[in-house]
Structure 1
Amino acid sequence: MTRSSAAPGRPQPAPLPVPPPGRPARRPARPWFSSGPCAKIPGWTPGVLAEAFVGRSHRHPAGQQRLREVIRTSARLLGVPDGYRVAIVPGSDTGAIELAMWNLLGPLGAEVCCWENFGYTWLADVVSQLRVPGVRVHRADAYGELPDLTAVDFRRDVVFTWNGTTSGVCVPGSDWIPADRSGLTICDATSAVFGLDVDVAKLDVVTWSWQKSLGGEGAHGMIALSPAAVHRLQTYRPDRPLPKVFRLTRDGQLLDEVFDGFTINSPSMLAVEDALVALDWCVRAGGLPELLARSRRNLAVVSRWVAGRSWVEFLASDPATVSSTSICLRLRHPAFDTLSPQAQRAFVDRMCASIEEHGAGYDLAGHREAPPGLRIWGGPTVEADDIEALLPWLDWAFAATLAECS
C-alpha cells in the first residue's frame, strides 16, 4: 500500500510575538512536547490522510486489510515473538489494559507494582472493581522511585507499567522477571513501546496506544498476548460480567478474527490511516533500533543540560531508571522549596504559560498527580534539535518566574 508524502500544509497560525530582549531568539521548529497525544511524525500534515478508507465499512476486505496491516507491521517492528496474538481494541491503552485485567485476573491472585498515577489507577481497579482476592501491593516510597521489584512473586499474576508516564521512572530492563514464571505478566507499556527497549518475550500481556511514541491519534489501543495468556483466556471464566468491548472469547474459544483485523467495534479509519503513515515512517527511519536511538539522543540532550543546572534535576532518583520518553524534572531552588504545593504548581503553570505565549514549547507541565515540575516528551517523533532549542526557554522562564515571586 503506497501512501502519499506530499500534502498541503496546515493553516498558518497568527504570527508569534518577537521575543523581547533577554528572551531566547531561537524557537523549536516543532514545539510539541506533550506526553499524550504526542508530537506527530516529522513532516506530518493532514494531507497524508488523503488515502484514508473513509465513508466505507471497516468490515470490507480493503478496510480489514488496513487494520491487519497495522497489526502485522506493529508486531514486526516491535519484535513480538512468534505465537503471540496482536489486536486493535477500543479505548486507547486504558481500554487495552482494562480488557486484559477483566479477562485474565483472578485464579492466581495478583501482585500490583505502583510508583506513579497509572499504576495506582490499575491497583484501584484490581481491588475495588474486580475485587481480585489476595492482592499484594508493591509501592514506591515516593514519586521518582521504584518499589522493591525483587519482592514480586511471579507464581502469581503481576500487573505493572514498564514506564511510569507521570514520574519518568522506567523499570531497569527485564532481568527481574523470570522466564519460568507460572503467573502472567500484564504490562501497561504505552509510553515505552517504540521508545524504550521493551523485552516483549518476558511479558504475557503488552498494551499500548498509537498516541504515544507513534504520535498517532487517541481512542484506539493495542494488545499483544503470549500463548500463556491465550491459554488463560480459553480456560478461565471470570465470575464477573464482561462488556462487549472486552470480549475476546466465545464459549471458551478465542475470537481469532479480532487478531486478524476484525475489530470488536467500529474503529476510526482516519486514525487507522494515521497509524499506518506513522508505521511507514518508523520503517523508513530505520526500524526499532533507530527509534530507540532517537529517544536516547533526546534524553542525552536533557541530561547534559540538567548536569549544568542547580535549579532542576530528574524526578527519577536512580539514573538507571530515568525514562527517555516521558522525561520528568523536579525544580530545586531555596525559594521554590519554601512555597506551598499549590504555589509550586502555580509557579510551574506560570513558567509553562510564558513559554507557550511565545510559541516556544507546549504542554510542558508535569502531570497533575505528580509533584509540581516539568515534563518533556522525548519519544522518537521529537527531534533532538527542537529539545536543544527549548531548553534555553526553560532557563529564561524559570528566572523570570522566580523574579516575579521575589
Structure 2
Amino acid sequence: MKPQRRPACTHFSSGPCAKRPGWSLAALEAAVIGRSHRSKLGKGRLHEVIERSRRVLGVPADYRIGIVPASDTGAVEMALWSLLGPRPVDLLAWESFGDGWVGDVLKQLKLPNARRIAATYGQLPDLGVPDPAHDLVFTWNGTTSGVRVPNGDWIADDRAGLTICDATSAAFAMELPWPKLDVVTWSWQKVLGGEAAHGMIALSPRAVERLECSVPPWPMPKIFRMTSGGKLIEGLFEGETINTPSMLAVEDAVDGLKWAEGVGGLDGLLARTRANFAAIERWVAATPWIAFLAERPETRSTTSVCLVFVDDWFRGLKPDVQAKVAKDVVARLEAEGVAFDIGSYRDAPAGLRIWAGATVETADIDALLPWIDWAYGEVRPG
C-alpha cells in the first residue's frame, strides 16, 4: 500500500541541498543588486558572511576566512596550488571527490613526493599511515560514500606539515577540531542550503606562514592567488573577493547564517542533523533489505547518508541490473513527487543517498522512509 503521508519538503539532494525551513524569495529582498560588490554596502555584506560564518562555526580569531570563486572545488584547488610543494604530501581518498584531489596533485601539479592512501567505498583508509612531517589532504566527510573521519585525534598536534581539509558537507553539521586543521574549505550550497558558485576558505597562521614563505614553481592562475609581493592579500579575507560574486547568492548566504544563529548556532545545527540521522538509523535497524554503505558506525556520515540494498535477491543480480533497480526505486519516488535526487552518486555502489543536514526537517525524513519501503517493494519480485 502506498503511504498516505508525504514529506512537506521533498528535496533530499546532497548538493545543492534543501533551503532552510520557511525560505522564500522574499529572503533576498535586501540584496545589494545593481551595485558594485566593491561599494561600501556590497563589501559590508560580504564581510558579514565572513564574520557570521566565523561565529557560527567557532573559527579561531587568528584564522583568516575568505570568499573565493568556484564553490568548494575552487577553494580546495586554491589551497592545493598555493600551498603544496615544500614537503611530501599524503593524500587520503575513499570516495570520488577525495580521489579527484589525488588526481589533481599527481597529474596536474605532478608532485614527486605525493603518496595516495586509499580505501574502497564504505571504508576509511588507515588513519595511522599519514606522516606528521608531510602535508595532508583529505575530505572530512565523503559526500559520495557516506563515510567520514570519526574525529581529529589521529592528526598530530606537533605536526610539521599542513593539514588541508575539504569540509564542505561537514561544516555546520559536524564538529571540526580547528587546531588540528590548517586549511578548511566549504561551500554555501551544502549544509545551510545556500546558492552555488562561491566557496569559503579558512587559513590557520601556519598556512599563512607557508603562503608568505614559499613560492610555487608553477604558474598561478589569478583566481588562486592569495599573496602579492610575498605578502598575504589581506583584503581577500575582509570581503574583497578575487572576482565578482553574485550578490543574490551573498544575500542568501547571509539569510542562511541568520537562520543558523536562530536555531541555536552550531549546537542547534548539530542537533537537527543528528535527529535526522537517528530517524534513518532506526529505520535501517528495522529493515532487513537496506544497510549503510559505511561499514563502521563511528564513520557513518550524518549528512550524506549512503544506503545499499542487501537482500539475497538484490545481491544475486548482475551489477548493471542492480544499478537499474536502484534507478527504478528513485524514479518511482520522483514520479510520486515524494523525494527528489536521492540516487547514489554515479561512481558509488548502486543504492540511495539521502541528505539529512540541518535544513531538512526530521518529520520529512520520517515521512520519506515508508515511501522507500513501498518503492522497493514495487520493484522487487514477490
Tell me which residue corresponds to 2:370. 392
Tell me which residue corresponds to 2:82. 103
Offset of residue 179 of structure 1: 1.1
Offset of residue 154 of structure 1: 1.5
**Whole-angstrom CA distance in 2 between matches of 1:50 and 1:353:** 36
Contact 1:92 1:221 in 2 (8 A): yes
1:88 aligns with 2:67: yes
Matches within 5 A, 1:20-59: 22-59=1-38
For residue 382 of structure 1, the aligned residue among 360, 364, 382 is 360
Offset of residue 173 of structure 1: 0.5
Matches within 5 A, 1:311-350: 311-350=289-328
Matches within 5 A, 1:229-244: 229-244=207-222
Tell me which residue corresponds to 2:159. 181
**Whole-angstrom CA distance in 1 between matches of 2:4 and 2:182:** 49
Offset of residue 345 of structure 1: 1.2
Matches within 5 A, 1:19-168: 22-140=1-119, 142-168=120-146
**Whole-angstrom CA distance in 2 between matches of 1:196 and 1:388:** 22
The letter of the residue matching 1:248 is: M
Tell me which residue corresponds to 1:14. none
The letter of the residue matching 2:20 is: I
Q: Is there any run of 5+ residues in structure 2 with no aligned partner, and where?
A: none
Matches within 5 A, 1:260-299: 260-299=238-277
Offset of residue 182 of structure 1: 0.5
**Whole-angstrom CA distance in 1 between matches of 2:351 and 2:178:** 31
CA deviations over 1:173-229 (Å, ceiling 9, x no partner): 110011111000000000000011111221000000000001001100000000000
SS of residue matched to 1:313: strand
SS of residue matched to 2:368: helix
CA deviations over 1:131-173 (Å, ceiling 9, x no partner): 1121111111x21000000111021100000000000001011
SS of residue matched to 2:321: helix
Contact 1:312 1:331 in 2 (8 A): yes
Offset of residue 333 of structure 1: 1.5
**Whole-angstrom CA distance in 2 between matches of 1:154 and 1:223:** 22
For residue 214 of structure 1, the aligned residue among 187, 192, 203 is 192
SS of residue matched to 1:374: strand
The letter of the residue matching 1:144 is: G
SS of residue matched to 2:378: helix
Offset of residue 309 of structure 1: 0.8
The letter of the residue matching 1:172 is: P
TM-score normalised by the chain length of structure 2? 0.99
The ranges of structure 1 where at least 4 consecutive aligned residues each deviate by more than 2 angstroms after the TM superposition are none
Contact 1:106 1:133 in 2 (8 A): no
TM-score normalised by the chain length of structure 1? 0.93
CA deviations over 1:250-285 (Å, ceiling 9, x no partner): 110110000000000000000000000000000011
Superposition RMSD on alpha carbons, in Å?
Answer: 0.7
Q: Is there any run of 5+ residues in structure 1 with no aligned partner, and where?
A: 1-21
The letter of the residue matching 1:186 is: I
Q: How many residues align structurally?
A: 382
Offset of residue 48 of structure 1: 1.1
The letter of the residue matching 1:368 is: R
Contact 1:80 1:201 in 2 (8 A): no
**Whole-angstrom CA distance in 2 between matches of 1:304 and 1:329:** 13
Tell me which residue corresponds to 1:10. none
Same amino acid, percent of matched pairs:
55
**Whole-angstrom CA distance in 2 between matches of 1:88 and 1:120:** 24
